[in-house]
Structure 1
Amino acid sequence: MARRPAPASAASRMFAAVAASVVAIVLILVGVLVVDAQGSERSEAEQVTRSVAAALAALPEVESVVGEPDASATLQPVAERIMRESDLDFVVIMTPQGTRVTHPDPTEIGRTYLGTIPAEPSTLTEEFVGTLGPSVRSIAPILSDGRLVGWVAVGVTLGSISAEILSRLPFVLGIALLLLAAGLVGAVIARRQLRRMAGDLPPGTIRDAVASYESVRTLGEALRAQTHEHGNRMHTAVSLLELGRTDEAVEILTETSRQSQSLVDQVAARRDGDPTVGALLLGKAAQARERNVAWDARIAPDAPRSTLAPIDAVSVVGNLIDNAVDAAATGPAPRWVRVEFDPVAGGALRIRVSDSGTGIDPADRERVFTHGFSTKPAGAEGRGVGLALVRAIVDGAGGSIRITDSPTMFEIVLPGRRR
């Protein structure tokens, strides 16, 4: 029987994720730099062609010669010199009707200019396909005493612009390689640090370990509160008995039994309940009363059992209740927490935990599920882990979670377990 390959460790997955992110960022950066260089070169070509065209059109020797029959013999050398000195691909001087007087290809002299000639004497910049291919060109009027006597067109082919961009590529690639190397080094360091903490454990195992810790912590706090509450009441009852106040002692013990029995009856009445979560609710009820927060738990008898493992169920319910009790205890009176387990369509389980606290800022609705985010000061056990773990467990089980206002309520829907 073929053995399944071992799942990749969390450290390896982190390295792969960070490395992939670095590569993606570098590729995007290279693309942005290339596009920026292309835009910069095109903008520079437009400025240069407009400036040269306007300057050449304003030369007195051009203005005085362009209309003469032998203008080509005088102006062609001028155009060629400007092309050499300015890295321009063409300088075309023409008559008002567009007949070329100069051109990089002497055989084109005397032919009609290919491009847009403005209806009025004004400078125009455009991209046009001429005898030299597509180019960025500017055309400027040659005026004599306000009268149009000719045109000057100056242009740079797109091929020349691309060549300029290619000359910048080594610099861009050098930056990209440096960033890539720095990112990969960071990924290696992150993998080493995570491997020191988690070894070669896969992510699922690490999450289970965190869930286990959270479950033990919340159960421990619940049991401690329950033990403390029962201890206080028992001590009070014993003291009353010693004082001969039997009726008051019996009343305290009866009330203690009644409060616990009410929740026990709801848990026991469930058709397919989870005893671990039931025990958690009993402890959390005592913990809420210890903090002067009214407790209300409503469990429908036909509420199904979720597909979560007991340790995950305790993490989800325990963390939501802890947050609700914290919010209620520091909020305005009356202070209360309500927990509801109900069935929904499709055999799913709906868990609602609401409280009387001041609520959650709408801007923080999604941030509260981010690891490390918390609106409360950090304690010895750390903050910002519980709700992130709740989201991870719920998402992993194929469930959903949402937050509503008035009152603040966390609502979770989990797939129900088939009996």
Structure 2
Amino acid sequence: MRSVRDRGRPLSVARQLLILQLVVFTVMAVVAGILFVLDERREADDATAREVTEIADTFAQFPEVAQGIAASDADGDLQVRAEKVRTSTGVDFVVVMGRDEIRLTHPTREEIGRPYTGHTEPARAGETFTETYTGSLGPSIRAVAPVYDEADDLVGFVSVGVTRTRIWQEFVTGLPTILGVVAAGVAVSAAGAYLIARRFRRQTLGLDARQLRTLYEHHDAVLHSIGEGLLVLDTESPTPRIEVVNDEARRLLDLQRAGPVPFDALPATLRDAVTRHDVRDEIHVTVDRVLLVNSDAVRWDGRTLGTVVTLRDHTELRGVLGELDAVKSLAESLRAQAHESANRLHTIITMVELGRTTEAVAFATDELAMSQALIDRLTSSVREPALVALLLGKTADASDRGVELTITEDTALESTPPMSTRDLVTLVGNLVDNAIDAARTSEEQWVEVGIRQDESTMIIEVADSGPGMSAETLARATTRGYSTKSDHHGLGLALVNGLVGRYRGALRTEPSLGSMVVVEIPLGRAEPGEGA
């Protein structure tokens, strides 16, 4: 059953490549072998032609040859000389003839005295030439040279030749070497093709062309349709490379809309996380967004091929949670104030029942004056109602937590803030929350908040009695990009730093008054995302 399925399954791309390479290499090797054989045969013919030409020229210059032709070789010495030259040089025939082209010598004695079969016209003109001609011994390559006597008169000709049969036999003896070279070339090519196909199979995961096409189509459709940001990285190379990035990831990370993305283009807070394989719901803060990051290793056949990173946009959710927390804080403050007001009301009623009405009126008016004075001051100097509510709520919340929170007398925000109400609440709320948390670790436990404007800048100063932060500590806290705290306040200064960057502001610490964080936002409202 398995063999039947295998026969019906399309060949993988790697196997198709292997077969095609083997076919191409084999054809090329065979063609090269044939061309080599033909070239060797031509070289053998040329070498034979040169050899017989030299022998014919040399033999024709012997004086005995001209004398023998003139005497018609009556004593047979010319035949002996010709045979001796033939056997010593390895040619097939040395034929001497007169001007009448009658053979005076020949390897076959029956041919002596018969007419020469071949051409002599160029030799009559004094030129030694070669030709391929079929004579009494069969097809041969022969050279014909003129013979002159002492008076320089043409007396005859010498023809020296080698038959095609002998040339072929000598050529066949060298064929095993040629075939061995061709076979070795095919073997080396086959080994190279196998290694290339093996590597290609690992790279294509053994998939066939249809599967690769389907995989690409699905991959492309999924990349453009999923609502999460997706990054696929090659983390096994010395320098991590981003292999795949979808449209949502480009939007969330503010990357270029097309083309490859270099690893350095990722926000600094993400570069460490995306190269790890064990990130789970880790919160990262970029300049514009709050992202939830997960990463997993991609493995195949026990090998780690890279890392898949998913990004979820939690910016809106974190903003809503911040507002919800502000509302909850305000509700808790109102509940605490209601409880405190009930206690004060019981106190006033008891004092009236005891007949201490003057003291009861004084107690009630003093308490009302203290709380109303803060409300009146903030509502008259700060024109943003949400910020007023936030500061009042944080004051009550701090009091409940045992921290004395004061609003500086110079707090004033008379013009429109240079940021949206939501961002302003998030910015001030996180600064105050961090200050309250820090103050609770000290003995005095106080927080002081001041918000003011000059001609070009909105300045927010939050001081506390905590241990304080150096510039290096602040830099680590704002660029770390994630938090281990379970609620959104764990983002703390990272969120503040992101908002400050969006509005082209500055964030710093000052050593005065224990610990102080100062935020400066230029006036002239910038749209979110325009900041560096």
* TM-score (norm. length: structure 2): 0.41
Q: Which amino acid aligns with 2:147?
A: I
Answer yes or no: is 1:135 the counterpart of 2:140: yes
Give the structure 2 partner of residue 154 of structure 1: 160
Secondary structure, aligned partner of 2:156: strand
Task: Tell me which of 94, 99, 103 is aligned to 2:102.
Answer: 99
Q: Which amino acid aligns with 1:92?
A: V
In structure 1, what is the Cα distance between the partners aligned to 2:221 and 2:152? Answer: 90
What is the deviation of 1:155?
0.6
Q: Which amino acid aligns with 1:192?
A: R
Give the structure 1 partner of residue 399 of structure 2: none
What whole-Å deviation, never above 9, does each CA across 1:187-230 have from its counterpart, x for those lacking one?
22223222333343212222443455566668866566778699
Secondary structure, aligned partner of 2:59: helix
Q: Which amino acid aligns with 1:40?
A: E
Give the structure 2 partner of residue 14 of structure 1: 17
Distance 1:88 1:221, change over 3 A: same
Q: Is the 8 A contact 1:11 1:191 kept in 2?
A: yes
Distance 1:74 1:218, change over 3 A: farther
In structure 1, what is the Cα distance between the partners aligned to 2:208 and 2:56? Answer: 68
Distance 1:91 1:212, change over 3 A: farther
Give the structure 1 partner of residue 8 of structure 2: 5
Distance 1:196 1:141, change over 3 A: same
Distance 1:71 1:204, change over 3 A: farther
Q: Which amino acid aligns with 2:136?
A: T
Distance 1:142 1:215, change over 3 A: farther
Give the structure 1 partner of residue 112 of structure 2: 109
Give the structure 2 partner of residue 61 of structure 1: 64
Answer yes or no: is 1:182 the counterpart of 2:188: yes
Distance 1:65 1:165, change over 3 A: same
Give the structure 2 partner of residue 35 of structure 1: 38
Q: What does 1:212-223 align with in structure 2 at a 5 Å threshold?
A: 212-213=218-219
What whole-Å deviation, never above 9, does each CA across 1:208-258 have from its counterpart, x for those lacking one?
43455566668866566778699xxxxxxxxxx988xxxxxxxxxxxxxxx
Distance 1:105 1:225, change over 3 A: same
What is the deviation of 1:38?
0.2
Q: Is the 8 A contact 1:95 1:151 kept in 2?
A: yes
What is the deviation of 1:106?
0.5
Distance 1:161 1:207, change over 3 A: farther
Distance 1:149 1:138, change over 3 A: same
Give the structure 2 partner of residue 376 of structure 1: none
Secondary structure, aligned partner of 1:112: coil
Secondary structure, aligned partner of 1:66: helix
Q: Which amino acid aligns with 2:79?
A: Q
What is the deviation of 1:65?
1.7
Q: Which amino acid aligns with 1:24?
A: V
Q: Is the 8 A contact 2:73 2:104 kept in 1?
A: no
Distance 1:56 1:205, change over 3 A: same
More RCO (CA 8 Å, sep 6+): 1
In structure 2, what is the Cα distance between the partners aligned to 1:122 and 1:128? Answer: 18
What is the deviation of 1:181?
1.6
What is the deviation of 1:37?
0.9
Distance 1:149 1:71, change over 3 A: farther
Q: Which amino acid aligns with 1:48?
A: E
Percent identity, aligned pairs only?
29
Give the structure 2 partner of residue 204 of structure 1: 210
Q: What does 1:241-256 align with in structure 2 at a 5 Å threshold?
A: none
In structure 2, what is the Cα distance between the partners aligned to 1:50 and 1:214? Answer: 75
Q: Which amino acid aligns with 1:179?
A: G
What is the deviation of 1:66?
1.3
Q: Which amino acid aligns with 2:46?
A: S
Distance 1:99 1:22, change over 3 A: same
Secondary structure, aligned partner of 2:8: coil
Secondary structure, aligned partner of 1:18: helix
What is the deviation of 1:26?
1.5
Task: Specify the structure having the higher radius of gyration (Cα).
Answer: 2
What whole-Å deviation, never above 9, does each CA across 1:102-122 have from its counterpart, x for those lacking one?
011100101110000114222
Distance 1:80 1:213, change over 3 A: farther
Q: Which runs of 5+ in 1 are unaligned?
A: 231-240, 244-419
Q: Which amino acid aligns with 2:176?
A: P
In structure 2, what is the Cα distance between the partners aligned to 1:211 and 1:96? Answer: 88
Q: Which runs of 5+ in 2 are unaligned?
A: 226-244, 258-415, 419-532
What is the deviation of 1:35?
0.6
In structure 2, what is the Cα distance between the partners aligned to 1:196 and 1:147? Answer: 83
In structure 1, what is the Cα distance between the partners aligned to 2:66 and 2:163? Answer: 26
Give the structure 2 partner of residue 170 of structure 1: 176
Distance 1:126 1:72, change over 3 A: farther
Q: Is the 8 A contact 2:72 2:104 kept in 1?
A: no
Distance 1:37 1:71, change over 3 A: farther
Distance 1:198 1:226, change over 3 A: closer
Distance 1:216 1:73, change over 3 A: farther
Q: Is the 8 A contact 1:71 1:101 kept in 2?
A: no
